A and B are shown apart, each in its own frame.
Chain A
Amino acid sequence: MNPSSFGRQIAALRRFAGVLLRHPQSALGTALVFFFLFVAVFGAQLAPYANPNDQSHAPRVSPTMDIGALQLGEHPFGTDRLGRDVYSRVILGAGSIFRIAGLGTLISVLVGSAVGLYMGYRGGWFDELLGRVIDALLAIPALLLALVLVGIIRNLDFEIGSWQAELADNVVLLVIAVLYVPVVARVARSSALDIKTREFVEAAEIRGEPTYYIIFREILPSVIPALVVEASLRFSYAIFLVASLGFLGFGARPPSPDWGLMVNENRGGFYQLTPWALDFPALAIAILVIAVNLMSDGIRRAVQKGN
């Protein structure tokens, strides 16, 4: 890469960040997402009790947090009915939601863009067939497909420690990746269809450039803005989906400190007993979802402005 194009990319990134952060809503969203990311990465250091399943505390303690006095106290979010510190569990739960949603999105964006770009550029029967399969796949609601897949795979008996068991443990991550590949592929395909009619691609064909060169060198750079927008959108849906699956009991298994699971475990009759054990993880989910949405909306706006 030559220095002038590197400098341009830095400048473009600056401009992008400028537009993103100038808008108060998207700036707030972005800041919150980074705050959660920080919590997710340094959860073990931040949580007062490193073991989320430590039941040695008194059960059903009300939150000791005092916002007015800026004090956390011993159990800022209280303890649940089994005597586990809710604050530590919420902090330690951030990691898994980011890991699953983030990695799942990343895989789907990588695979989906490659497939979609190839489909869009080459066209023909491959595109036709895959296009139909994608349409069919999209006719099945994502959550239903996820439930079915997770439900089945989790019920399969694998030998403990085998690679299949490893896979089954990460089933939600994989399901997200698989579910979003066609969605991303569709976006990449339609952008590629648009870009490939541009004359600079034809100029490359006239030079006899190979397919991989045309796809990655000529088409991909112009598709990246659309992919960034799609990736941020996918990430927000992935967070949504991970939380929902966790809540329905199809995500992490108890006693893991999964936010959705915590919400489910403390609803109904238990809510009267320890409302905080539901309210705080629910609040964490709500804030994270809103923040990711605000950020992704800001990214969309910034990318549109940049073009």
Chain B
Amino acid sequence: MTTPLLDVENLTISYRIGKRWIPAVRDFHLQLAPGHVVGLVGESGSGKSTVALALMRYLSSNGRVESGGRLAFAGEDLLSKSAAEMRSIWARRVKLVPQNAGAALNPSLKIGAQVIEVLYAAMGIGGAEAEQAVLGMFHDVNLVDPEKVADRYPHELSGGMQQRVVIAMALITNPELLILDEPTTGLDVTTEAVILDLVRGLMAERDTGVIYITHNLGVVAQLCERVLVLYAGEIMEEAPVDQLYAQPRHPYSLGLLNSVPRLGQSKADSRLHSISGNPPALAQLSSGCVFADRCEFVIDKCRVDKPPLEQLGDGRAVRCFRWEEVDASFLDPSVETSYQSSFHGDGEEQPGRQIDNEVGDKLMRVTDLKKHFPVAKSLGDWLRGKTPAPIRAVDGVNLTLGAGQTLGLVGESGSGKTTLSRLIIGLQERSGGQLELLGMDIRNSVRERSPDVLSKLQMVFQNPQNSLNPYLSVRQALRRPLVKLRDMTPAQAEAEVSELLRRVNLREDYADRFPDELSGGEKQRVVIARAFASDPDLIICDEPVSALDVSVQSAVLNLLARLQEEHGTAYLFISHDLAVVGYLSDVIAVMYLGQLFEVGAASDLFQPPYHPYTEALVSAIPVADPEHKAERMLLHDVLPSAQHLPSGCRFHTRCPRKIGAVCEEEAPPWREVDAGHAIRCHIPLEELSAQQRSFLRPEEIG
């Protein structure tokens, strides 16, 4: 390596909290050569953004880089630069693409003006010349109709378009170093896939050094050459990407890689590996290994001495005393098998559950369920006496759910998943259709439902932060449903509270804690306990793990799987993460613009033939496996509005497999693949199968 583009050694970054300076990132190091991409992975709070801002020398006013470190950019020491010198470096040589593009744009300036400002600051170009350059750059980031985009305000663009604008803003000066801080977090998988594709294409053409920050191991595998794994402010492991995934050397990397379910993995085969405990808070760092409290390999020495970052050669480094012993075989063997097998083709060998929606114990039947939100009239409508079309959030959904089963619901955000779940639980009133629970019709809204029905339906929410009343203790939160829905006496309820806590793996003394004394994962356990308190038949889980840290997600998923086994409770499980849905579900329904387009057993759904929309969702998943470099089927454009739905097949505006006018004119028929697996598309199943198999590379077909 000649002079590296970026050479960071011994960097310690502190924040002032109260009166103390607390080192949030310790002993960070990084080498980056031009034209290379290094990934920085870690959970929220591990210090990723702190590193990014410190590298930019733009820490918030209560942050500072401690002396003794080295931060060299193209051979120049950045730490000694004056504010004016930093400004000229910011202007063209290093650029940051921040998290949340929507907030990063000035809401009251037009897009074009904001990008032109970059050019002006960097090289004093303005006027028509700058405009041309901006339009050219917009074209390069695949923004359709650049002139129009330039003339808009940020709020008039979709999330994906905002993200492209921010990327264009960063690349327009042709920077030497580009830092992308979680650029796709918060976007749909389909949009994420498009953006990742774009970034990869743009990077291939340039000599820019890139630092890509994310919490998603799949994204790193798809994009980076080398990875740094960050935990609680320290680098745990550094390795070339393929080596890290093939043989992680740090217990944390190992645990993390094994706790994320692969597509095709199911609760029937194995529990997920999970890392116990929670990431440490900034203020309570130990003097030993920061991971010691959660590590399965921990020895006494780990709690006393801090392990050094040991260089293993080959560009690998690891911060662990026992790295030589760390090996996947240490973990549950069943997990290992499912990790190493590729995801396609798993289904056939596995003892797939027999799913037959027509027989067996039916728990709930949803018939032609609809929710139309009325839209207020505009003055024009008023004068012409017209009523505007309503927003058809849920538009004719039929579903059957068996007792003790999990029904997974997937689809992009805005497809109507949340609305559907709220209609079933009764938090919103339906505009049409029937709900039957155990053969009896149930009323529209919770207010009209009998206590008996109420106790049979419960819910686990996405955001554990808001799911518990901050002013009620865990005991109070759990006691109420027992008294209210199960008619227990206070003494009985008291005993049952302890039992509930035990079942969700929380110590009994948690009963007297308040929500602010619990971590996110613990809160979600209490919420799950509360949902189970009334001994329900069906629990609706709307994105129950997506607000949790990656390392605690798998423990919650395992808990849900175990409780289902023990109680025979059915779940309606909503998630944007197909692998998670696949892991927990028996049946999966794919939703798009208020309607279902595919329903089938979880074991069948992720292989051809699938509905073109399912296909797009599956291929958009960033797989945590650097070997998996399948061509993607990308969905361009945004979800059409649920007020002005496309005619014919609702997916035709974005469908890559659209066959012609028939798709625009006629609603597609349901076609049955097997019992319980049906697809709604005009393409005959055999043809669909054939096309989809040839789309995959041969070795990926099982």
Segment at the A interface, from B231-239, B434-442, B452-460, B607-615: B452-460
- Contacts A206-B446, A207-B485, A218-B469 given; indicate if A8 touches B514 (C-beta within 8 A): yes
Can you name the residue of chain A whose Cβ is closest to the Cβ of B475? Answer: A2
Complex Cα spacing A206 to B534, Å: 11
A2 touches B473 (CB 8 A): yes
- Which secondary structure characterizes the binding site on chain A? helix
Q: Tell me which residues from 399 to 446 in chain B have a Cβ below 8 Å from any Cβ of chain A.
A: 425-427, 446
Residues of A within 8 A of B530 (CB): 203
B471 touches A221 (CB 8 A): yes
A202 at the interface (CB under 8 A from B): yes
A209 at the interface (CB under 8 A from B): yes
Report A212-254 CB contacts with B as 1/0, cut-off 8 Å: 0000001001100000000000000000000000000000000
The chain A residues found within 8 Å of chain B, CB to CB, are 2, 4-5, 8, 198-200, 202-209, 218, 221-222
A200 touches B467 (CB 8 A): yes
B16 at the interface (CB under 8 A from A): no
A206 touches B458 (CB 8 A): yes
B468 at the interface (CB under 8 A from A): yes
Complex Cα spacing A208 to B469, Å: 16
Residues of A within 8 A of B476 (CB): 2, 5
Complex Cα spacing A202 to B542, Å: 13
Which of A5, A198, A208 is in CB contact (< 8 Å) with B451?
A208
B473 touches A205 (CB 8 A): no
Interchain nearest-CB distance for A221 vs B (Å): 4
Complex Cα spacing A205 to B425, Å: 10
- Contacts A207-B480, A208-B449 given; indicate if A4 touches B466 (C-beta within 8 A): no
B473 touches A206 (CB 8 A): no
Residues of B within 8 A of A2 (CB): 473, 475-476, 512
Complex Cα spacing A202 to B454, Å: 13
Residues of A within 8 A of B449 (CB): 208
- Contacts A208-B451, A208-B454, A208-B484 given; indicate if A202 touches B427 (C-beta within 8 A): yes
B470 touches A205 (CB 8 A): no
Residues of B within 8 A of A218 (CB): 469
Complex Cα spacing A203 to B426, Å: 11
B481 touches A207 (CB 8 A): yes
B466 touches A200 (CB 8 A): yes
Interchain nearest-CB distance for A167 vs B (Å): 38
Report B539-577 CB contacts with A as 1/0, cut-off 8 Å: 000000000000000000000000000000000000000
A4-B473, A4-B512, A208-B446 given; name 14 further pairs at CB < 8 Å: A200-B466, A200-B467, A202-B427, A203-B467, A203-B527, A205-B446, A205-B447, A206-B426, A206-B459, A207-B454, A207-B534, A208-B447, A221-B471, A222-B469
A206 touches B470 (CB 8 A): no
29 contacts between A and B (CB under 8 A): A2-B512, A5-B471, A5-B473, A198-B466, A199-B461, A199-B462, A199-B463, A199-B466, A200-B467, A202-B427, A202-B459, A203-B459, A203-B527, A205-B427, A205-B447, A206-B425, A206-B427, A206-B454, A206-B457, A206-B458, A206-B459, A207-B454, A207-B481, A207-B484, A208-B446, A208-B447, A208-B451, A218-B469, A221-B471
Interchain nearest-CB distance for B264 vs A (Å): 32
Interchain nearest-CB distance for A210 vs B (Å): 10
Report B500-542 CB contacts with A as 1/0, cut-off 8 Å: 0000000000001010000000000001001000100000000
Can you name the residue of chain A whose Cβ is closest to the Cβ of B462? Answer: A199
9 tightest A-B CB contacts, nearest first = A221-B471, A199-B461, A199-B467, A198-B466, A200-B469, A208-B454, A4-B512, A199-B466, A205-B446
Complex Cα spacing A202 to B468, Å: 10
Residues of B within 8 A of A221 (CB): 469-471
Complex Cα spacing A221 to B467, Å: 15
Interchain nearest-CB distance for A201 vs B (Å): 8
Number of residues in B with C-beta < 8 Å to the partner? 32
Complex Cα spacing A151 to B660, Å: 79
Residues of B within 8 A of A207 (CB): 454, 480-481, 484-485, 534
Interchain nearest-CB distance for B477 vs A (Å): 8
Interchain nearest-CB distance for A203 vs B (Å): 7
Residues of A within 8 A of B484 (CB): 207-209
Residues of A within 8 A of B463 (CB): 199
Residues of B within 8 A of A200 (CB): 466-469
Interchain nearest-CB distance for A285 vs B (Å): 39
Residues of B within 8 A of A209 (CB): 484
Complex Cα spacing A198 to B527, Å: 13
Can you name the residue of chain B whose Cβ is closest to the Cβ of A211? Answer: B447
Interchain nearest-CB distance for B685 vs A (Å): 40
Interchain nearest-CB distance for B496 vs A (Å): 15
Can you name the residue of chain B whose Cβ is closest to the Cβ of A4? Answer: B512
Complex Cα spacing A207 to B476, Å: 14
Residues of A within 8 A of B447 (CB): 205, 208
Complex Cα spacing A103 to B471, Å: 28
Residues of B within 8 A of A208 (CB): 446-447, 449, 451, 454, 484-485
Can you name the residue of chain A whose Cβ is closest to the Cβ of B468? Answer: A200
Complex Cα spacing A289 to B480, Å: 46
Residues of B within 8 A of A206 (CB): 425-427, 446, 454, 457-459
Complex Cα spacing A94 to B458, Å: 57
Complex Cα spacing A218 to B449, Å: 21
Can you name the residue of chain B whose Cβ is closest to the Cβ of A307? Answer: B470
Complex Cα spacing A13 to B700, Å: 63
Interchain nearest-CB distance for B456 vs A (Å): 11
Q: Tell me which residues from 262 to 312 in chain B have a Cβ below 8 Å from any Cβ of chain A.
A: none
Complex Cα spacing A208 to B484, Å: 9
* Residue of A204, A205, A222 with most chain B CB atoms under a 10 A cut-off: A205
Residues of B within 8 A of A204 (CB): 480
Residues of B within 8 A of A8 (CB): 514
Residues of B within 8 A of A5 (CB): 471, 473, 476, 514
Interchain nearest-CB distance for A228 vs B (Å): 14
Can you name the residue of chain B whose Cβ is closest to the Cβ of A3? Answer: B512
Residues of A within 8 A of B446 (CB): 205-206, 208
Residues of B within 8 A of A205 (CB): 427, 446-447
Can you name the residue of chain B whose Cβ is closest to the Cβ of A220? Answer: B471
Complex Cα spacing A199 to B467, Å: 5
Residues of A within 8 A of B512 (CB): 2, 4
Complex Cα spacing A8 to B449, Å: 36
Can you name the residue of chain A whose Cβ is closest to the Cβ of B512? Answer: A4
Can you name the residue of chain A whose Cβ is closest to the Cβ of B451? Answer: A208
Can you name the residue of chain A whose Cβ is closest to the Cβ of B534? Answer: A207
Interchain nearest-CB distance for A247 vs B (Å): 43
